[in-house]
Amino acid sequence: MSLPRVFVANPQIPKIAHDMLQNVATVVTTAGFDKKSILEGIKGADALLWPGRIKLDKEVLDAAGPQLKVVGAMSAGYNHIDLSELKARGIKLGNASPALGNTVADMAILLALAAARRFTEGRKHMEEGTWSKQFNPRWMMGQDVADSTIGIIGLGSIGQAIAKRMKAFDVGRIIYVGRSEKKEGKELGAEYVTLDTLIKESDFIFVAAPLDDNTRHMCNASFFAKMKKTSVFVNVSRGELVDQDALIKALKTNQIFAAGLDVMTPEPINPDNELLRLPNAVLTPHIASSTEKTRIAMAKWTAENIIRGLKGEELLTPVQL
């Protein structure tokens, strides 16, 4: 019997995934990042190793063929994948969020602290020579984390890792929203609240929920209007959860204190985008999971999902379709 075929949709996936998959399958890696290479290479695949950000839609699934059984998304998010098409075709999907939770949470904390302590603005003062010689105790005052209320939108692997880290900062309270109350929330001492309560009572809001039709633009003008003027907004999920024009307005008018964003719209952001000029925004180019260790862990996790899927076993982290 011939081995199943696994198609890897990015030539830069860590070798470990290749090594693991080669024990059970013939592994074919795309010749290039472009759609043409993918559509050509994917034919006859039983499984796909699918990294973030490349669209997996009907056209791609049709090119693969009806034998396709499982998709291993090498990412936490899966908004680039057409879930209803997978469901209709009986294809399983697994993601890799536990493999990157800690690393993304580290970035979320970095963004929260940097935004709270005015990193962008401070750097600008140094570059422009506007750092005054005279000591003014009120200059560049930021926001404290100790005793603050931390609001987390989405208490999955990333949200939980954020809560764990925040506890070490002696915060006052951790509250969260999500599809339902979670036992992990109780274990972390976090309180399940309504979205309205979270928006109004949090000093720091972390967005760590998946992007779907329910969460798209959930952080909009009315969301920012309800936040405290002293609050910091952090997004490490997807830019589309935020109405970015409304966020820019809230930052410009000091309706909220600051924002720390690893994700935005579009990506890559246009260098002329106003977001890049705001003194109270700290931005990173969607690199929250980008460390060597984590990329390797993500590749291993994804390969394991695929191996299980090919054997007809339950995936490590199945995505409900």
Ligand X SMILES: O=C(O)[C@H](O)CO
**Residues engaged in binding ligand X (CB under 6 A):** 52, 75-77, 100, 104, 288-289
User: How far apart are CB 79 and ligand X at their closest, in Å?
Assistant: 9
Block residue for tokens 């006052």: 172
CA distances to 65, 83, 88 from 69, in Å: 10, 14, 12
- Closer to ligand X at the Cβ: 91 or 104? 104
DSSP-derived secondary structure letter, 73: E
Q: Is the dihedral of CA 311, 29, 55, 304 positive or negative?
A: positive
- Closer to ligand X at the Cβ: 199 or 303? 303
- Closer to ligand X at the Cβ: 211 or 227? 211
- CA dist., res. 213 & res. 135, Å (int): 50
Q: Which of 18, 125, 217, 286 is catalytic?
A: 286
User: How far apart are CB 212 and ligand X at their closest, in Å?
Assistant: 13
Those residues with Cβ within 8 angstroms of residue 275's Cβ, 6 or more apart along the chain or in another chain: 244, 248, 261, 264, 269, 281, 283
User: How far apart are CB 74 and ligand X at their closest, in Å?
Assistant: 8
User: How far apart are CB 304 and ligand X at their closest, in Å?
Assistant: 16
- Closer to ligand X at the Cβ: 108 or 171? 108
- Closer to ligand X at the Cβ: 82 or 121? 82
The amino acid at residue 203 is D
Among left, alpha and beta (phi > 0; psi -120 to 50; other), residue 147 is left
Peptide bond into 268 cis (omega under 30): yes
Burial class (CB in 10 A: 0-12, 13-18, 19+), 292: exposed
Residue 36, CA atoms < 13 Å, CB-side half-sphere: 0
Determine whether 286 is an active site residue.
yes
User: How far apart are CB 143 and ligand X at their closest, in Å?
Assistant: 24
For the residues of 51-64, what is the DSSP string, one character each?
ETTS-B-HHHHHHH
- Closer to ligand X at the Cβ: 96 or 188? 96
User: How far apart are CB 223 and ligand X at their closest, in Å?
Assistant: 21
Let me know: does 66 contact 90? Beta carbons within 8 Å.
no
Beta bridge partners of 47: 6, 70
Catalytic residues, which ones?
286
